[in-house]
Amino acid sequence: MKALRLSLLVMLVGLFAGTASAQATRTWVSGVGADDNPCSRTAPCKTFAGAISKTAKNGIINVIDPGGFGSVTITKSITIDGGPFLAGVLASATTGVVVNITDLVGDTNATVTLRNLDIEGGFTGLRGVRILSAKKVNIENCKIFGFRGNPGRGIEVNTTVANMQLFVHDSTINDNLAQGIHVTAPAASPAQVVVDNARIVQNGSSAIDLVVGAKGAITQSELSQNGSAGVFVEAGTTDADVSFTKMQFNVIAVSALNGGTVRLYNSVLTHNSTSISGGVTSHGNNAVINNGVNTLPALIPAPSLQ
């Protein structure tokens, strides 16, 4: 009888311990929270790093009030949403957000969404967002700025994951030491890079730099006042389609080297030191005007309107 009671007690303790340590599908952070809290709505955590260990895979971390919530490394599918408040990530001398989901079998989604965040480098930060391993990363309504330590990039993709998807929407990337977006991925299975309604301006190097293994689609964006190209594709395994986009006051508006290709549609290239370089083509409906060296892209037939 004593043995039976002891067994029941052990089971109950294990059950309560499992319940206490269970991860929530939605957790909360607050500027006045504490990381030893359970990250509930009434007892929020202080930092994203504190909340992520208490948030289940495919869960959401929400922000209750304005604050700075610290840098974070993400190793599972998750959404971090700062809206509608000022949700800051100050990453002095470090990287703001690292995405590194290595279990792509157990975590079938392998998807990270960053939404409504200010990711600030404080002029010494290294990278705003660094993506090492994931299937999909969505960056929505974010500001990434002030990363001026080496290498000084707003978003850096350096992955071996096949056909990884990066989606940047309604975001501003500015005042970084080097590139706004820098992508290196497998040549045989390139990353898919979609940039929509973004402002990538006043960076020390290119706004968007597709180094190897990357296919880009850039639309309705502004890529201006950057220290190199607005769009730069560097290899035969990279290309980009650019539509309804303004490229102004860059050193080069668009550059496509080493077999890379950029196709322009309904875009404006003006007041750049040089308009284009390399394999850049046009559908014949762009404004390429008033550049220091006003080289015109090669014409290709306009796409059919259906």
Assigned domain for 295 exists: yes
Q: What does the pLDDT read at residue 22?
A: 79
Residue 148 neighbours by CB under 8 Å, 6+ apart: 121, 123, 124, 125, 175, 176, 177, 204
Q: Do residues 116 and 250 both lie within one domain?
A: no
Q: Tell me the C-alpha distance between 232 and 182, whole Å.
A: 10
Q: Do residues 200 and 299 both lie within one domain?
A: yes
- The whole domain housing 169 covers 24-178
Last residue of a domain, one of 126, 149, 178: 178
Assigned domain for 4 exists: no
| Distance, first Cα to last Cα, the chain | 80
Q: Do residues 139 and 162 both lie within one domain?
A: yes
Element (DSSP H or E) covering residue 7: helix 2-21
Assigned domain for 107 exists: yes
Assigned domain for 132 exists: yes
Assigned domain for 184 exists: no
Q: Do residues 234 and 157 both lie within one domain?
A: no
Q: Do residues 260 and 174 both lie within one domain?
A: no
Model confidence, pTM: 0.92
Q: Do residues 218 and 124 both lie within one domain?
A: no
Assigned domain for 95 exists: yes
Assigned domain for 16 exists: no
Residue 243 DSSP class: E
* Sign, CA torsion 226/229/235/241: positive
Q: Do residues 212 and 117 both lie within one domain?
A: no
Last residue of a domain, one of 139, 159, 178: 178
Q: Do residues 166 and 201 both lie within one domain?
A: no
Q: Do residues 153 and 211 both lie within one domain?
A: no
Q: Do residues 197 and 95 both lie within one domain?
A: no
pLDDT tens, N- to C-terminus, the chain (306 residues): 445 444 444 343 343 334 345 799 999 999 999 999 999 999 999 999 999 999 999 999 999 999 999 999 999 999 999 999 989 999 999 999 999 999 999 999 999 999 999 999 999 999 999 999 999 999 999 999 999 999 999 999 999 999 999 999 999 999 999 999 999 999 999 999 999 999 999 999 999 999 999 999 999 999 999 999 999 999 999 999 999 999 999 999 999 999 999 999 999 999 999 999 999 999 999 999 999 999 999 999 877 766
Q: Do residues 171 and 125 both lie within one domain?
A: yes
Q: Do residues 113 and 35 both lie within one domain?
A: yes
Residue 136 neighbours by CB under 8 Å, 6+ apart: 109, 110, 111, 112, 164, 165, 166, 167
Last residue of a domain, one of 134, 156, 178: 178
Assigned domain for 47 exists: yes
How many domains are there within the chain?
2
240, 210 contact by CB (below 8 A): yes
